[in-house]
Amino acid sequence: MSETDTPTIGHWIDGAPRASTSGRTAPVFHPATGEKQAEVALADQAEIDEALRSAQRGFETWSALSIAKRQAVIFAFRELLNARKGELADIITREHGKVRSDAMGEILRGQEVVELATGFPHLLKGAFSESVSTGIDVYSIKQPLGVVGIISPFNFPAMVPMWFFPIAIAAGNAVVLKPSEKDPSAALWLAELWKEAGLPDGVFTVLQGDKLAVDGLLTDPVVQSISFVGSTPIAQYIYETASTHGKRVQALGGAKNHMLVLPDADLDLVADQAINAGYGAAGERCMAISVVLAVEPVADELIRKIVARIEKLRIGDGASTPEPDMGPLITREHREKVSGYVDIAERDGATIVVDGRDFQVPGGEGGFFFGPTLIDRVPTDSRAYTEEIFGPVLEVVRVAGYEEGVALINSGAFGNGTAIFTNDGGAARRFQNEVQVGMIGINVPIPVPVAYHSFGGWKQSLFGDAKAYGVHGFDFFTREKAITSRWLDPATHGGIDLGFPQND
């Protein structure tokens, strides 16, 4: 494809594709080949303003519709998504690089939230208290916020937006989605599906862009809330900036997730799950297991079992047949960053058991592949241990016992997810109570809650008070009014009384 033939991916504004006039673009690569496959538009201020004006009009139309009509559109979207999700999986594989089965799994987990949203009328009910005083009733109602912003990451271009927008739209809001510049096409596909489902124009907007678009959402008074998933430094920036401008914020940040392995654990199960949780999606998951805390004397045997499984993994283009187990990283720059963390671990005295830095796929030498990497005896003061790597790098830290393992987990800056592997129910129960982490797995390595619970961590893994989806999501995307009501009987009302109302 020549430079002049490269397509430009634009916005979705007012219910239709919108070509950008900003003159600014960023490249979109095919991660398995390293070739540029498109350019994505980067919005200027005029396009940001246009998108937000359209969303405000969409909100005014959508919020005035009956719950029954809104619910019908949500159901239609769910059915269309279920019928055509294979198209979306192909888009994700092409732009993100994850294997197709993983892309399909991402969509199915997002679809759980769509299905939760179809039952939204129950979760939008207020409360009613009759006769709190003579002739006086008090009741509450839940109303939408208005225009809400979603800023989503590259690693889950469909699932993460679906953590937020089904609930936001069901509650009567209009959504402006700013997807990652690295894989922007999934958002447009979802916008087209909403259009087909009957969503009014302006209720779902896709604004392509960079920091200018992000800051536009964070500062413009039209936007009432921000939902974000990404790295901790950016999450903190999002939270501080949007909060300063009076917006509600749920900003989910980074992670360094640990798996504590007790001596009584089934090591074959542990090795299987360490492979799945450490190398699935090439480690580009905020819920990936990064560190195995092996309570001695299990480390040597566990490492042997993990190495044996690494040797059987197939790495390649996620669109190839037969499908590989793991695809490439998202960009060349990210591949270099992950490689740099392995360099740091090696300099700090760790043992590189399996080294993926020079890994190449035959025929895919230009792709952004990084082989599964296993590192033993990682010092806990190394940046390779304390910072999020976000790649297929699994680290082993040997600990003397349960207490040392929990102390290490609790001393970290992050508190997103963690897991314990054991056959001791007492140890598992103690772990779930003592560990300072938001999502916990017991013999489950990636404890992402189902849609009717809520997703979110502790400490520097979450900024703001509301987690994603579940009841937290409906609370976040609505605000409550309390109404005190009295219908006077002209024959019995009490006349003038300047005192403070009392319940006599």
Tell me the three state secondary structure of residue 152: coil
Query: What are phi and psi for residue 144, nearest 5 degrees?
Result: -70, 160
Contacts of 106 (CB under 8 A, 6+ apart): 92, 98, 156, 158, 159
What are the angstrom distances between the C-alpha of 261 and each of 71, 198, 270, 283, 373? 45, 50, 8, 20, 19
CB 424 within 8 A of CB 446: no
Residue 105 to residue 100: CA distance in whole angstroms: 8
pLDDT of residue 139: 97
Q: What is the pLDDT of residues 380-427, one digit of tens each?
A: 999 999 999 999 999 999 999 999 999 999 999 999 999 999 999 999
Q: What is the pLDDT of residues 347-370, one digit of tens each?
A: 999 999 999 999 999 988 999 999
- Spans in the chain with pLDDT lower than 70: 1-4, 490-495, 497, 501, 503-504
Take residue 469 and report the two structure tokens written for it: 């989806």
CB 431 within 8 A of CB 260: yes
Query: Could you tell me whether strands 204-206 and 174-178 are parallel, antiparallel, or unpaired per DSSP bridges?
Result: parallel
How many other CB atoms sit within 10 Å of the CB of residue 150? 26
> With the C-alpha atoms ordered 41, 46, 47, 52, is the resulting torsion angle positive or negative?
positive
Any idea where the domains of the chain sit in the sequence?
A: 3-253+461-482, 257-442
Tell me the three state secondary structure of residue 312: coil
pLDDT of residue 488: 81
Query: What are phi and psi for residue 26, nearest 5 degrees?
Result: -135, 150
- Annotated catalytic residue, options 286, 292, 354, 451: 286
Name the β-bridge partners of 151: 178, 228
Question: What is the per-residue DSSP string for 14-46?
Answer: TTEEE---S--EEEEEETTTTEEEEEEE---HH
Single out the residue of 211, 304, 244, 257 nearest to residue 447, CA to CA.
257
Residue 42 to residue 12: CA distance in whole angstroms: 13
Name the β-bridge partners of 439: 417
Question: What is the per-residue DSSP string for 75-108?
Answer: HHHHHHHHHHHHHHHHHHHHHH---HHHHHHHHH
What are the angstrom distances between the C-alpha of 111 and each of 68, 117, 166, 318, 450? 21, 10, 9, 22, 11
Q: What is the CATH number that goes with domain 3-253+461-482?
A: 3.40.605.10
Query: Could you tell me whether strands 248-252 and 462-463 are parallel, antiparallel, or unpaired per DSSP bridges?
Result: antiparallel
The structure tokens 């949007």 sit at 242
How many other CB atoms sit within 10 Å of the CB of residue 155? 24
CB 262 within 8 A of CB 295: yes
Q: What is the pLDDT of residues 435-476, one digit of tens each?
A: 999 999 999 999 999 999 999 999 999 999 899 999 999 999
The structure tokens 């979110």 sit at 456
Does 257-442 match 3-253+461-482 at the fold level?
no
Single out the residue of 185, 258, 306 nearest to residue 439, CA to CA.
258
pLDDT of residue 495: 66
286 is catalytic: yes
- Considering the chain, what is the average pLDDT of its residues? 96
Q: pTM score, two decimals?
A: 0.95
pLDDT of residue 5: 78
Query: What's 468's DSSP letter?
Result: B
CB 50 within 8 A of CB 21: no
Candidates 3.40.47.10, 3.40.30.10, 3.60.110.10, 3.40.309.10; CATH matching 257-442: 3.40.309.10
Residue 371 to residue 335: CA distance in whole angstroms: 10
Amino acid at 210: D
Take residue 117 and report the two structure tokens written for it: 């949203």
